[in-house]
């Protein structure tokens, strides 16, 4: 989330070749020495693993006989055929959670940025504070909240909401736990702060006088929101959706803790293939496909939202 909190880079004076040449050689190497350990770390433990994973994904063999690179691209096709429901589900759940995060997060970010006054710091603390309890413990708490004989399910049932959601396929058998609704609820909850903080930083930078100006020009509040506030907060919306969608698409904690076998996401499949089934080629191929899909979705999204300078 700090990626977006960074203010735009101040213009740096152009460094000419002549100026570079004047610096003694020993000094010219300083940035490289500063970069070396950290970049080496990322190359060895981030970039190199990707290469290993690519090679694993085209291997065949078994755990007993050992794996060998045989350029067996068929694995990708087989994996996609077998697990495309989980893929589609992951993108669907992550997308829904992202939209919900935006709808829920925008008012709160707006409230903190413009209406909170002296309560602003307190509200910010309340947004960040839940973070400090381990997210697994908080996700487990949803099991209590959404319990079958709990207040939430009871209220939804009385209001006949469950009939509608069951008809839509979001819930089943008068319960919320172990249904898509519970998983999306957990995802939305877990990634809300990642939406709110970038939204807040970009809203906070908007000059409040622009709202007054819009009002003076007879814009109704909704028009002001649509034509002034939302366009100006676009960078926050874009980075917030990315920070929500990307981790949500690979998450398996919510699907495992709050869902059932019918709500498995692709993260669960990768996890079980790697750690339980020990079918490394399929697992590597799945994780590569997930990475590719996420990168494509993100690139298209950034292009279309017209804020390429963001990243």
Partner 1 sequence: MRWIRRNVVVVAGLLTLAYMILPNLVVMVFSFNKPKGRFNYAWQTFSLDAWKDPCGVADLCGSLTLSFQIAVWATIGATVLGTMIAFALVRYRFRARGAINSLIFLPMAMPEVVMAASLLTLFLNMGAELGFWTVLIAHIMFCLSFVVTAVKARVMSMDPKLEEAARDLYAGPVQTFVRVTLPIAAPGIAAGALLAFALSFDDFIITNFNAGSSVTFPMFVWGSAQRGTPVQINVIGTAMFAVAVLMVIGGQLVGNRRKKAATP
* Site residues (CB under 8 A) for partner 1, limited to 251-290: 251-253, 257, 267, 270-271, 274-275, 280, 283-284, 287-288, 290
Residue 296 tokens, joined: 């494509």
Closer of 170 and 189 to partner 1 (Cβ)? 189
- Residue 240 to residue 192: CA distance in whole angstroms: 9
The interaxial angle of helices 234-250 and 180-204, nearest 10 deg, is 150
Binds partner 1 by CB under 8 A, chosen from 24, 31, 66, 117: 31
CA 6 to chain centre: 19
Binds partner 1 by CB under 8 A, chosen from 92, 95, 120, 135: 135
20 sits near partner 1 (criterion: CB under 8 A): yes
Residue 279 tokens, joined: 């079918």
CB 72 within 8 A of CB 60: yes
187 sits near partner 1 (criterion: CB under 8 A): no
DSSP class per residue in 82-139: HHHHHHHHHHHHHHHHHHHHHHHHHHHHHIIIII-GGGHHHHHHHHHGGGGS-HHHHH
Closer of 163 and 308 to partner 1 (Cβ)? 308
Interface segment toward partner 1; rule CB under 8 A; list 69-77, 124-132, 156-164, 206-214: 124-132
CB 179 within 8 A of CB 263: yes
Binds partner 1 by CB under 8 A, chosen from 105, 198, 235, 259: 105
214-236 b/e with 16+ CB inside 10 Å = b?
Answer: beeeebeeeebbeebbeeebebb
Binds partner 1 by CB under 8 A, chosen from 41, 73, 77, 84: 41
**Site residues (CB under 8 A) for partner 1, limited to 217-246:** 242, 246
| Shortest separation between residue 289's beta carbon and partner 1, angstroms | 10
Binds partner 1 by CB under 8 A, chosen from 21, 22, 115, 226: 115
Interface segment toward partner 1; rule CB under 8 A; list 2-10, 74-82, 162-170, 209-217: 2-10
Closer of 162 and 185 to partner 1 (Cβ)? 185
CB 289 within 8 A of CB 303: no
């Amino acid at each position: 989330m700090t990626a977006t909190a960074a203010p735009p880079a101040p213009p740096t004076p152009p460094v000419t070749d002549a100026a570079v040449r004047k610096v003694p050689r020993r000094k010219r190497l300083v940035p490289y020495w500063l970069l070396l350990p950290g970049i080496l770390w990322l190359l060895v433990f981030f970039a190199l693993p990707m290469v290993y994973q690519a090679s694993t994904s085209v291997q065949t063999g078994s755990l007993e006989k050992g794996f060998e690179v045989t350029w067996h691209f068929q694995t990708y096709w087989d994996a996609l055929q077998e697990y495309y429901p989980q893929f589609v589900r992951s993108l669907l759940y992550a997308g829904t959670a992202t939209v919900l995060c935006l709808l829920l997060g925008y008012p709160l970010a707006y409230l903190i940025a413009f209406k909170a006054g002296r309560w602003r710091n307190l509200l910010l603390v309340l947004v960040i504070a839940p973070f400090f309890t381990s997210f697994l413990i908080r996700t487990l708490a949803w099991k209590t909240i959404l319990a079958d004989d709990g207040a939430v399910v009871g209220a939804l049932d009385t209001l006949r909401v469950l009939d509608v959601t069951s008809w839509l396929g979001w819930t089943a058998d008068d319960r919320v736990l172990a249904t898509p609704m519970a998983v999306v609820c957990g995802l939305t909850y877990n990634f809300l702060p990642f939406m709110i903080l970038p939204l807040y930083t970009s809203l906070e930078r908007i000059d409040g006088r622009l709202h007054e100006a819009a009002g003076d020009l007879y814009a109704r509040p909704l028009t002001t929101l649509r034509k002034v506030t939302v366009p100006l907060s676009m960078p926050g919306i874009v980075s917030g959706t990315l920070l929500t969608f990307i981790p949500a698409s690979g998450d398996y904690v919510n699907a495992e803790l709050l869902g059932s076998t019918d709500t498995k996401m692709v993260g669960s499949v990768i996890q079980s293939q790697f750690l339980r089934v020990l079918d490394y080629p399929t697992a590597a191929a799945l994780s590569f496909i997930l990475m590719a899909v996420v990168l494509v979705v993100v690139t298209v999204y950034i292009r279309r939202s017209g804020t390429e300078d963001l990243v």
